[in-house]
Amino acid sequence: MSQHTIVIPTKDKLFNLEPLLTRTPGNILTWIILAVGLVVTVIRFTMGIGSVANLDDNWPWGLWIGFDLLCGVCLAAGGYFTTVACYVMGMKHFHSAVRPAVTTAFLGYAFVVVALLYDLGHPWRLPYMFFFPGTTSVLFEVGLCVATYVTVLFIEFSVAPMEWLSCKFPWLLKYRKLVIRATILLTIFGVTLSTLHQSSLGSLYLIAPEKLHPLWYSPFMPMFFFVSSMAAGASMVIFEGMFAHKGVHDYMDETHLREADCVVLSFAKAGSFILFAYFMLKFIDMLVQANIPYLFSGYGAWWLLEMFGFVLLPALLYAKGSRDGNVKLCRIASVNAVAGIVLNRFNVSMIAFNYQLPPSDGYFPSIGEICISVFVVTLIVTAYRFIVYNMPVLYEHPDFKGEEH
Amino acid sequence: MNRRKFLTILGSAGVASTLGTAATATKAEAGHVFPYYDESYGVLHDTTRCIGCRRCEEACQKVNDLPKPDKSFDDLSVTATRRRTSADAWTVVNKYEVDGKPFFRKLQCFHCNDPACASACFAKCFRKLPNGAVVYEGSQCVGCRYCMIACPFYVPGFEYDEALDPLVQKCTFCEPRLQEGKLPGCVEACPMDALTFGRRSDLIRIARARISENPGKYVNYIYGEHDAGGTAWMVLAPAVDGKGAKVEQNPIDAGHTMKQLGLNTHLGTQPMGELTYGALGAVPMIVAFWPVLFGGAYAITKRREAMAKQAQDAAVNEARQDVAVAVDAAVRKLEETEGPGAADRARRAMTEALKAREAETAHARHGEEN
């Protein structure tokens, strides 16, 4: 039924901007956030980081790194997770989930880079890491992998805009064919790069054992970050799908709608397994490092809350939901799991970081920092909406229907 | 002139000459020493001598052209607050209570033998020089501030209020002055001889001599000798206890005193950067193995799909043949009983029915694939 309402862009009417420009409460809120964000952006780049952020010498990294970078990259893990499941493991019934996942992953990474520019003292010098490569630095590995992976994601994602624009620029079809032929190559390249930089985001903190609380510091942080990114990938596909069904339901075709529930249940099952494994890894690590005495402190209670309320609980909810075929429960679990991932990254980068400093030297993000983070998230959502309204992401383009790839 | 003063002067006199040799050594790429930092310079800070006069802070501000602080250097009350180094103040002196008695300690860059900041920098802004100084070159700094995360001593400061060219700032060991054969500004200004400049190996010998010659005065621990892989600037801490007789001879006990002086003895003896080398070493492994692993998984998937298709085709063929044999037998029987005309009609009807069915299944399969 919904198939008939999808507006397929044609040569004469290439853009479908109406849903972004009509005066709905959501759009008005978007405009306000974007306007405020632009003002803060101007302040940031004309008056310095100190004018908008609460960062100081004890807290060189705050919300922009803890949320925009660490959470942004982790929550964009749906891209590699879905492509590997579909193309490498041959789970073809996830095919309709691939494009939305790749789209959000590409947007996530692209805007991680955008957000990073706010945090860097010399944003235009970002490419310097290639001219003066500090190969002993974990950050170099992160930068190299993220730069390469953004490129890979751009190529993977480019199929959708090429299908959209091919009605006006037919020469794009040649490149589209080339990219589709390289799908498996790009997928394997993507998962390798993802493994590297998801884990190396954890490795960033290996150099500061005296600053990060022992319950979170571990030589195995790279592994924890990678394993939890897999859980984040599975959870984000369910989480985003939930909002997509609310907001852009009209742009989904029959195949997408038919496969959607199966995708939710299967990803919930995978998420359950991964979260259980993650829980065990963290728990064993805590025992091996003889950290039990720390459990009887404020930080210990916080750690237990994270582990039981935001790792084990979503794992159980996922298990129950996928077993009972309860899509709604799986969605609730995905909210819980995503919150847990964010909480973990906040703990590592902010809450359990600098735990030995007196409370007077604490850090809480400023209004300006929060504005920029909200601004970036709104940009991602707006870009996603634009793409979904115009490009074949949630539906198959009629010109390319039934093609095997 | 006592022995300490003599050594200080000896050390400073040696700066110019040794810098010359260090330069030749690098040029000729000969004369490697191990460990390489033994012959480099350092400073020993004796906290039992420091009186918190802030002359070192003043000298640092002057020789480095740093902005003047709001409160003048004569105001000694600021030492009671817990201050740290920043972009504008490369060294600060703070007061600490050690077992109830006040002591002062000077903070500045420790000039690690294997600096965490240099290991963490992804644009190679930091260098450990043969003369012992850890220097920073801002012209290629991206401003990521990972060096500040990495530094175990909370030393580097960042110019957050600079809009266009914000840089990291920290003590340079007065590298330009060392080049000229002068002492670092703070060392020169210290009226109490609390800072001793010299070769690192000599400083360790001096520190040990002070500890053994003055029983009960120092804890038996030279902070920075091994901490975080060893540092060029080292600290001697006072031994204080109520009775005044007990000496903390066990280095492990010194942690208690060091902690009160704001020094962390839990950094370990490895350079901080080494903690990341295991993870970085795994990178080539993943680059090598992941494509093989996932390529293999892909091949298995493809093979499995091909096998499933083969099995399905075989089953369909078999079923079709079974049907054909049965139909043939039936038609023959028809031919015997009803005559050849009826058999022909039956054959025609059969072929038509098969064709129609094939078309139907083909259509269904096509629909399934979509």
pLDDT single digits (tens) A163-204: 999 888 888 989 999 999 999 999 999 999 999 999 999 999
Q: Residue A6's pLDDT is what?
A: 77
Q: Which two tokens stand for residue B107?
A: 């903070």
Chain A contacts in chain B segment 169-228 (CB below 8 A): none
Residue B157, classed as helix, strand or coil, is: strand
Q: Please determine, for residue B343, whether its predicted confidence score (pLDDT) is greater than 90.
A: no
Q: d(Cα A199, Cα A230) in Å, to the nearest integer?
A: 11
Q: Residue B335's pLDDT is what?
A: 84
Residue type (1 letter), B175:
E
Domain segments of chain B as ranges: 31-281, 287-369
How large is the average pLDDT for residues B263-284? 93
Half-sphere exposure (Cβ direction) of B188: Cα atoms closer than 13 Å: 16
Half-sphere exposure (Cβ direction) of A106: Cα atoms closer than 13 Å: 22
CA distance A214 to chain B (A): 12
* Residue A348 and residue A282 in contact, taking contact as beta carbons nearer than 8 Å: no
Q: d(Cα B356, Cα B295) in Å, to the nearest integer?
A: 42
CB contact under 8 A, A57 and B273: no
Q: Residue A3's pLDDT is what?
A: 45
Residue pointed to by tokens 């939305």: A100
Residue pointed to by tokens 């496969």: A259
pLDDT tens, N- to C-terminus, chain A (405 residues): 444 467 788 877 888 888 888 888 899 999 999 999 999 999 999 999 999 999 999 999 999 999 999 999 999 999 999 999 999 998 888 888 999 999 999 999 999 999 999 999 999 999 998 999 999 999 999 999 999 999 999 999 999 999 999 888 888 989 999 999 999 999 999 999 999 999 999 999 999 999 999 999 999 999 999 999 999 999 999 999 999 988 888 888 888 888 889 999 999 999 999 999 999 999 999 999 999 999 999 999 999 999 999 999 999 999 999 999 999 999 999 999 999 999 999 999 999 999 999 988 999 999 999 999 999 999 999 999 999 999 999 988 888 876 655
- In chain B, residues with a C-beta closer than 8 Å to the C-beta of A126 are 142
Mean of pLDDT over chain B? 86
Q: d(Cα B219, Cα B215) in Å, to the nearest integer?
A: 9
Residues 6+ apart with CB under 8 A from B15: B41, B131, B178, B181, B182, B183
Q: Residue A30's pLDDT is what?
A: 94
A404/B contact by beta carbon, under 8 A: yes
User: Which of A122, A137, A203 lies closest to B143 in CB terms?
Assistant: A122
For chain B, where are the alpha helices, taking DSSP H only?
3-28, 55-63, 116-120, 146-150, 175-179, 185-189, 200-213, 254-260, 277-338, 340-369
Residue B113, classed as helix, strand or coil, is: coil
CA A24 to chain CA mean position, Å: 27
CB contact under 8 A, A207 and B276: yes
Listing DSSP states for A134-188 in one string gives -TT-HHHHHHHHHHHHHHHHHHHHTHHHHHHHTTT-TTHHHHHHHHHHTHHHHHH
Q: What is the ipTM of this complex?
A: 0.91
Chain B contacts in chain A segment 336-355 (CB below 8 A): none
A375/B contact by beta carbon, under 8 A: no
Residues 6+ apart with CB under 8 A from A23: none
Determine which of A91, A130, A139 to mutate to test the interface with B (most B C-beta atoms within 10 Å).
Answer: A139
CA distance B338 to chain A (A): 49
CB contact under 8 A, B82 and A358: yes
How large is the average pLDDT for residues B315-343? 86
Q: Residue A280's pLDDT is what?
A: 97
Residue pointed to by tokens 């920073």: B136
Residue A287, classed as helix, strand or coil, is: helix
Q: Residue B22's pLDDT is what?
A: 43
Q: Residue B365's pLDDT is what?
A: 65
Determine which of A55, A136, A183 to mutate to test the interface with B (most B C-beta atoms within 10 Å).
Answer: A136
User: Which of A120, A133, A209 lies closest to B142 in CB terms?
Assistant: A120
Residue type (1 letter), B208:
R
Is the pLDDT higher at A253 or at B141?
B141
B82/A contact by beta carbon, under 8 A: yes
The mean-pLDDT minimum among A233-242, B23-32, B55-64, B114-123 falls in B23-32
For residue A147, which phi and psi values (nearest 5 degrees)?
-60, -45
User: Which of A140, A195, A207 lies closest to B272 in CB terms?
Assistant: A207
Positive or negative: CA dihedral B68, B88, A210, B248: negative
* Nearest chain A residue (CA) to B302: A90
Q: Assess whether the previous peptide bond of A293 is cis (omega < 30° from 0).
A: no
* Residue A163 and residue A400 in contact, taking contact as beta carbons nearer than 8 Å: yes
Q: Which two tokens stand for residue A296?
A: 């009887």
Q: d(Cα B46, Cα B34) in Å, to the nearest integer?
A: 27
- In chain B, residues with a C-beta closer than 8 Å to the C-beta of A123 are 143
DSSP bridge pairs for B98: B101
CB contact under 8 A, A207 and B275: yes
User: Which of A134, A192, A209 lies closest to B291 in CB terms?
Assistant: A192
Q: Which of A55, A66, A307, A64 is nearest to B159 (CA)?
A: A55
Q: Please determine, for residue B110, whether its predicted confidence score (pLDDT) is greater than 80.
A: yes
- In chain A, residues with a C-beta closer than 8 Å to the C-beta of B149 are 60-61, 204-205, 207-208, 211
Q: d(Cα B125, Cα B158) in Å, to the nearest integer?
A: 14
Q: Please determine, for residue B290, whether its predicted confidence score (pLDDT) is greater than 50.
A: yes
Q: Residue A254's pLDDT is what?
A: 84
Architecture of domain B31-281: 2-Layer Sandwich (3.30)
Q: d(Cα B86, Cα B60) in Å, to the nearest integer?
A: 13
Residue pointed to by tokens 């180094």: B85
CB contact under 8 A, A121 and B272: no
Q: Which two tokens stand for residue B224?
A: 């920075």
B337/A contact by beta carbon, under 8 A: no
Residue pointed to by tokens 């150099």: A207
B273/A contact by beta carbon, under 8 A: yes
Q: Residue A14's pLDDT is what?
A: 83
CA distance B123 to chain A (A): 5
Q: Residue B15's pLDDT is what?
A: 45
Q: Number of Cβ pairs closer than 8 Å across A and B?
A: 183
Residue A353, classed as helix, strand or coil, is: strand
- In chain A, residues with a C-beta closer than 8 Å to the C-beta of B167 are 121
Listing DSSP states for B149-161 in one string gives HH-TT---EE-TT
CA distance A203 to chain B (A): 6
Q: Which of B22, B326, B335 is nearest to B199 (CA)?
A: B22
CB contact under 8 A, B144 and A141: no
Q: d(Cα A113, Cα A69) in Å, to the nearest integer?
A: 8
Q: Which of A192, A198, A160 is nearest to A179 (CA)?
A: A160
DSSP class of residue A212 equals B
CB contact under 8 A, B286 and A134: no
- Number of other CB atoms surrounding residue B88 within 10 Å: 14
A57/B contact by beta carbon, under 8 A: yes
Residue pointed to by tokens 């630095």: A137
Q: Which of A75, A55, A42 is nearest to A375 (CA)?
A: A42
The region, left, alpha or beta by phi > 0 then psi within -120 to 50, assigned to residue B230 is: left
A137/B contact by beta carbon, under 8 A: yes
CA distance A55 to chain B (A): 8
A182/B contact by beta carbon, under 8 A: no
Residue type (1 letter), A14:
L
A207/B contact by beta carbon, under 8 A: yes
Q: Residue A253's pLDDT is what?
A: 85
* Residue B150 and residue A207 in contact, taking contact as beta carbons nearer than 8 Å: yes
Residue A306, classed as helix, strand or coil, is: helix
Domain segments of chain A as ranges: 18-395
* Residue B237 and residue B44 in contact, taking contact as beta carbons nearer than 8 Å: no
CB contact under 8 A, B160 and A136: no
For residue B253, which phi and psi values (nearest 5 degrees)?
-65, -25
Q: What is the pTM of this model?
A: 0.88
User: Which of A129, A184, A206 lies closest to B275 in CB terms?
Assistant: A206
- In chain B, residues with a C-beta closer than 8 Å to the C-beta of A50 are 160-161
Residues 6+ apart with CB under 8 A from B239: B216, B217, B218, B219, B246, B247, B248, B257
A122/B contact by beta carbon, under 8 A: yes
Q: Residue A2's pLDDT is what?
A: 42
A127/B contact by beta carbon, under 8 A: no
- In chain B, residues with a C-beta closer than 8 Å to the C-beta of A191 are 290, 294
Q: Which of A113, A111, A140, A116 is nearest to A128 (CA)?
A: A140
* Residue A224 and residue A202 in contact, taking contact as beta carbons nearer than 8 Å: yes
Q: What percentage of residues in chain B have a pLDDT greater than 70?
A: 85
Residue type (1 letter), B170:
K
Residue B6, classed as helix, strand or coil, is: helix
CB contact under 8 A, A121 and B158: yes
How large is the average pLDDT for residues B205-212? 94
Half-sphere exposure (Cβ direction) of B270: Cα atoms closer than 13 Å: 11
pLDDT in tens, B146-173: 999 999 999 999 999 998 999 999 999 9
Q: d(Cα A80, Cα B287) in Å, to the nearest integer?
A: 16
Residue A318, classed as helix, strand or coil, is: helix
Q: Please determine, for residue B30, whether its predicted confidence score (pLDDT) is greater than 70.
A: no
CB contact under 8 A, B144 and A358: no
A138-157 and A95-119 are packed helices; what angle lies between their axes, rounded to 10 degrees?
140
Q: Please determine, for residue B7, whether its predicted confidence score (pLDDT) is greater than 60.
A: no
Chain A contacts in chain B segment 288-317 (CB below 8 A): 290-291, 294-295, 297-298, 301-302, 304-305
Q: Which of A342, A393, A373 is nearest to A8 (CA)?
A: A393
CB contact under 8 A, B141 and A121: yes
Q: d(Cα B227, Cα A254) in Å, to the nearest integer?
A: 65
CA distance B84 to chain A (A): 9
Chain A contacts in chain B segment 93-122 (CB below 8 A): 116, 118-122
